[in-house]
Amino acid sequence: METIEVKLADRSYPIHIGAGLLANADLLKQSIAAEQILVISNEIVAPLYLGRLASVFGRRNLHKHILPDGERHKTLGSFAAILDTLIEAGFHRDACIVALGGGVVGDIAGYAAASYQRGIDFVQVPTTLLAQVDSSVGGKTAVNHPRAKNMIGAFYQPRAVLTDTDTLGTLPPRELAAGLAEVIKYGLIVDAGFFGWLEEHVDALLALDRAALTHAIRRSCEIKAEIVAEDEHERGRRALLNLGHTFGHALESLGGYTRWLHGEAVAIGMALAARTSCALGWVAEADCERIEALLRRAGLPVATGDFTPEAVLERMQLDKKAGRDGLKLILLEAIGRGVVRAAPDSSVLRQVLAA
């Protein structure tokens, strides 16, 4: 097991990474100390891992809440149902919510923990690559609005993140590829050397090579933990972590949260961000081709399909990073050097989207 710390003073917490962590009873009991526990999972993950987790806490007051699978269920209705479960079971303020699943489960469980009695403990047990390298770390919790993703939520940090890499063995290939989009993102925004490593090892990652996966997860978490410690509430550098997300979130909402997985939409968004950077003269055509080649090798899309530029631009205006000064985008000055900039003229974006 390897451990990385997210350093946030008295709210610091560990990210434990290793194989077989769900079988480590001592670690689970140490990380989840509450007497009342609500495990939130979904209909896919729960049959695989909930029994294993529950067996460790057999003598405690453990309840479960099972969500339908999919981004389209990350709604205020699902959030309210979790609160109903907490209230009906008589959960106190010293209880703990455990998020067992991917990004949807972690986001909605964290928001419920942040809201119930103005905040109770929660622990992330991510079971998808995307959740392990991104959404479980940093304290962003949210639900979606039909017209815009993650518009309702809170910054609320977990007590711990327990990443059992063995859970990736049951992950469908499409979900694994979606997680790789977020891994690639870290190389693009701050670490050109890591991007090069990914080019060399993407096949090993897709083949679930344990050493390669552990390195990719650890390096991704190291980068995110450092950025979050510096800028917890995204007032500056943390915005870099949204590379590709403004485009991607617009596409997700246009597709009714069913057409693409989150990581697939982010992959398209990163390709668009690179092409926008190229249109502005910041990166070379060869860099765009290199980025798109790695995304394709990872099994990810790089084009918007049949949505019009106007439709995408309209949804982009609903992005959380849009303010009184207009929309901001995360673009590239080079592979390994992301920057936060005001969005260029809509004619530039329309041309990139049309292409």
Residues annotated as catalytic (active site), given as ranges:
118, 140, 182, 224, 234, 238, 242, 245, 249, 262
Backbone angles phi, psi at 326, to 5 degrees: 100, -170
Q: How far apart are CA 209 and CA 213, in angstroms?
A: 6
Q: How far apart are CA 99 and CA 78, in angstroms?
A: 14
Token pair recorded at residue 195: 């991007």
What is the amino acid identity at position 303?
Answer: A
Q: State the Cα angle at 156 between 149 and 91, rounded to 5°.
A: 105
> b or e along 167-177 (b: 16 or more beta carbons within 10 Å of the residue's beta carbon)?
bbeebeeebbb
**Which class for 317: exposed (0-12), middle (13-18), buried (19 or more C-beta within 10 A)?**
middle
Could you count the other beta carbons within 10 Å of the beta carbon of residue 89?
Answer: 13
According to DSSP, the residues that pair with 125 across neighbouring strands are: 100
* Integer CA distances (angstroms), 56 to 52, 95, 165, 315, in order: 7, 17, 19, 45
Q: How far apart are CA 89 and CA 294, in angstroms?
A: 48
